[in-house]
Amino acid sequence: MSSIVVIGGLAALILTSAGWPDVRRTFFSWEAFKDSFPGVAEGFWLDVKIFVVVELVVLVLGLVVALARTSRAAALLPLRLLATAYVDIFRGIPVILLVYLVGFGIPALELQGLPTDPVVLGGIALSVGYGAYVAEVYRAGIASIHRGQRDAALAIGLTESQAMRFVILPQAVRRVGPPLLNDFISLQKDVALISILGVLEAFRAAQIDAASTFNYTPLMAAALLYLCVTVPLARIVDRIGLGVGGQTR
């Protein structure tokens, strides 16, 4: 009841504000929405495709880096150092900067065989940035598995790598499902950063529309499309999060 009062109050406050008629015209114009939606949706489809590919790359890259960082063999020390340096560097740089550096830096090298397509370059930047985050999520999951599990796996005659593959990793991955999905919601949104390389994805398409009509409704259309993906993802996170308390299998 009280929440209805609060929300109603806020709505009344906004709707009666002096600027509301202008805001409504520039942000919530049905006409502008209809005109811009097809173009923005087309751009958003590109976002989704980039997201899916980058997500798959990140899942694999993050796992490889996490395994390298948690390896124990003395001979693998260089690999451990490399993995640590990778995580430190790419987790420490803002994603928007990575997109700039990769997107404009790699083509500037003018080397044969390197990609020049901004979609690919942007995807690479997102992949290395998020790969570093996801590696740490996996690593935290691996570290959270009680050492008795490794002992038991070795005791039944498994090798270190078999213990990791059959005993530790399956439990660790289950445990980090919710934080992984959280990172993917961030990633889904950060795909919009590729627009700075000139890729015509949803945000860029909406921006162009907005600039040519002096109406910001296309941006609202883009926001709506993002919510259509991120809200269901958030519900999946909730589901899995609840499942962990009550034993996921």
Partner 1 sequence: MSPQPVLEISGVTKSFGEREVLHGIDLEVGEHQAVAVIGASGSGKSTLLRCVDLLEDIDDGDVFLDGEVITDPSVDTVAVRRRLGLVFQAYNLFPHLNVIENVVLGSVRAQDVPRAEAEQRGRELLDRFGLSGRENDHPDDLSGGQQQRVALVRAFASQPRALLLDEVTSALDPELVGDVLDAVRDLKSEGMTMLIATHEMGFAREVADTVCFLHDGRILESGPPERVLSSPERPETQRFLRRLLSAGRA
The correct pick among 8, 151, 211, 231 for binding partner 1 (CB under 8 A) is 151
Min. distance of Cβ 71 from partner 1 in angstroms?
16
One-letter amino acid at 194 equals I
Binding mask 184-203 for partner 1 (x = CB under 8 A): --------------------
Residues 100 and 126 sit within 8 Å (Cβ to Cβ): no
Closest CA to 90 of 132, 138, 136: 132
Q: How far apart (Å, rounded) are the C-alpha atoms in residues 118 and 76?
A: 35
For 128, the 3-state DSSP assignment is helix
Min. distance of Cβ 14 from partner 1 in angstroms?
50
- Residue placing its CB nearer to partner 1 in the complex, 75 or 249: 249
Min. distance of Cβ 149 from partner 1 in angstroms?
6
Identify which range of 9-17, 107-115, 151-159, 188-196 contacts partner 1 by CB under 8 A: 151-159
String of DSSP letters for 199-237:
---HHHHHHHHHHHHT--HHHHHHHHHHHHHHHHHHHHH
Residue with tokens 């397509």: 117
Identify which range of 25-33, 69-77, 83-91, 155-163 contacts partner 1 by CB under 8 A: 155-163
The correct pick among 48, 158, 208, 223 for binding partner 1 (CB under 8 A) is 158
The correct pick among 48, 59, 120, 154 for binding partner 1 (CB under 8 A) is 154
Identify which range of 88-96, 130-138, 153-161, 215-223 contacts partner 1 by CB under 8 A: 153-161
Assess 246 for contact with partner 1 (CB under 8 A): no
Identify which range of 9-17, 76-84, 103-111, 154-162 contacts partner 1 by CB under 8 A: 154-162
Q: Which two tokens stand for residue 196?
A: 């700075």
Q: How far apart (Å, rounded) are the C-alpha atoms in residues 46 and 195?
A: 11
- Residue placing its CB nearer to partner 1 in the complex, 61 or 167: 167
Closest CA to 198 of 89, 98, 122: 122
Identify which range of 37-45, 161-169, 206-214, 223-231 contacts partner 1 by CB under 8 A: 161-169
Residue with tokens 């996996």: 138
One-letter amino acid at 38 equals P
String of DSSP letters for 85-99:
HHHHHHHSS-HHHHH
- Residue placing its CB nearer to partner 1 in the complex, 71 or 213: 71
Say how many Å lie between the first and final Cα of the chain, rounded: 39
Assess 42 for contact with partner 1 (CB under 8 A): no
SS3 content of the chain, % helix, strand, coil (to 5): 85, 0, 15
Which positions touch partner 1 (CB under 8 A)?
Answer: 148-149, 151-159, 162, 166-167, 170-171, 174, 247, 249
